[in-house]
Amino acid sequence: MFFSIFFPLAAILLTASLVALARRILQLPGRHLPLPPGPRARWFGTVKLPKEYQWLTYARWKDVYGDLIYVRVLGNPILVLNTAEAVTDLFEKRSARYSSRPTRSMVTELMGWDWLFSTMPYGPTWRKHRACFQQHFNVNALGGFKPIILREAHTLLHNLIMDDSALFHHVRRSAAAIVMMLSYGHQIAPEGDLYVTIADKALAGLAQAGIFGTYLVDYLSCLKYIPAWFPGAAFQRQAFEWRHMNRMMRDLPFEKVKREMTAGKAVPCFVTEQLDRLFTAASKAASEPALEGEDLVKNVAAIAYAAGADTTVSAILSFFLAVQVWPEVQTKAQRQIDAVVGPDRLPSFDDREDLPAIDCIVWECLRWNPVTPLGLARHVGEDDEYRGYRIPKGTTIVPNVWAILHDEKMYPEPLRFNPDRFADEEQNAALGINDLPNAAFGFGRRMCPGRALAFETIWITIVTTLAVFNISKAKDEHGNIIEPDIQFTPTLLSHPRPFCCVIALRSEKARSLVMQTLDR
């Protein structure tokens, strides 16, 4: 009796479900449109993606499939955008649909980077964090930041005079020192710092796991429930270790500033400014400052380090690598610096308008090897149509920043480091080539809000370095020139791989000028 009733009922329910699903599909906009082209799927409808240097593979696929490449991996639809036109059309002209982020099980849920507003979905929480950041780190505040930036540029010069073999350490320390002072009022020692070490370890984990799909759990979010002791769950144990580091990165320097404020010893900075506002608002309301407000300040302070340090480090190291291979860039820039600044002082921010060659070098450093070659993925929350193709709801959109900034039509000889490509703006505009590489900072509503600070930091570092040093290729023990290997790391945050070079003082006068800065 039970079976005679159950099976007909199940058949009716199944038929009704299929009819409802069919109606829903028929009502979808663009239901008749094809998906964008892409490589043929293999097993279970999945495309095998490269594990390293994905941006290079996607750039090669552009010649086969075009600037829109659609793939599915374990049921997850992914659309790669290989041109500035496609990115502009979707991320800027349709920003209301394309400004959110996909859920990243490994990075946000397991590793704990949910406080990083560059990974947050578009919405009120993201807006609060971005607004808080922009209150302090905006273009109008740059004037107050420049003395700190200049001081650390001079410290870098001094450190390179003392030991030019530790270039990578000195550059990273300099970038970290600027952000730590602006965010926490904390002066780090020349040899390094506990807080910087913790942050670097946390960011190294983010760089390794940050590209969407690096870990299987990004595609199969149910795997996040597998316990760490389970066979094959090494990603859980790794995520736990990285989570610990990123929480320390966020919490420890913030708590230090709070203790210093209580003792009346805090140096004015982002955290003190924001906490003073919270306490003032709380006293007027006769209540304690909201924990949510403190968490917001804590998050944004750490975000400033995470966002600022790696961009500047990558661009500055790219500069040291590139001028070895293209020494004419160094010669031309030094000629301009010598003519404008002279031999009796070091360059300053006041010289910028008279040193256009340095602007061009900075832009080329950002273009030649963008620190985020794949940008940060977006998420489309509703079905859409573009160029006659259907983009399904839930698709992860990946901007191939490397391909955009190495488009031969826009940037002739894209692999060559050539700052002169940006020198003649009128001619470039007439020919439709060599746009400034703003893509290095993101797109639309999610463009990096700290880009002006990053540019100024890179600019003063490069101009003071060129004023003081000659950079050239190293030699081995037999006097043979060591040709630098132009290689970059295959991670979300991409840097030049270790290389050697000679960093020699241009004159004893240059040494004296650097040493004088230590007495100020």
Q: Which residues are known binding-site members for heme?
A: 448
**How many residues are given for the chain?**
520
Binding-site sequence positions: 448
Residue whose C-alpha is closest to residue 465's, from 370, 325, 346, 327: 346
> Rounded to whole angstroms, how far apart are CA atoms 99 and 446?
7
Tokens found for residue 59: 């750039």
Runs of H (alpha helix) within 327-396 = 327-341, 356-368
Residue whose C-alpha is closest to residue 151's, from 196, 184, 181, 113: 181
> Rounded to whole angstroms, how far apart are CA atoms 171 and 193?
14
Task: Read off φ and ψ for residue 49, nearest 5 degrees.
Answer: -100, 155
Tokens found for residue 390: 């259907």
Task: Count Cα atoms within 13 angstroms, Cβ side, for 368.
Answer: 30
Residue whose C-alpha is closest to residue 294's, from 267, 272, 262: 272
- Are the C-beta atoms of residues 175 and 457 closer than 8 Å to each other? yes
Specify the 3-state DSSP secondary structure of 375: coil
Chain mean position to CA 14: 48
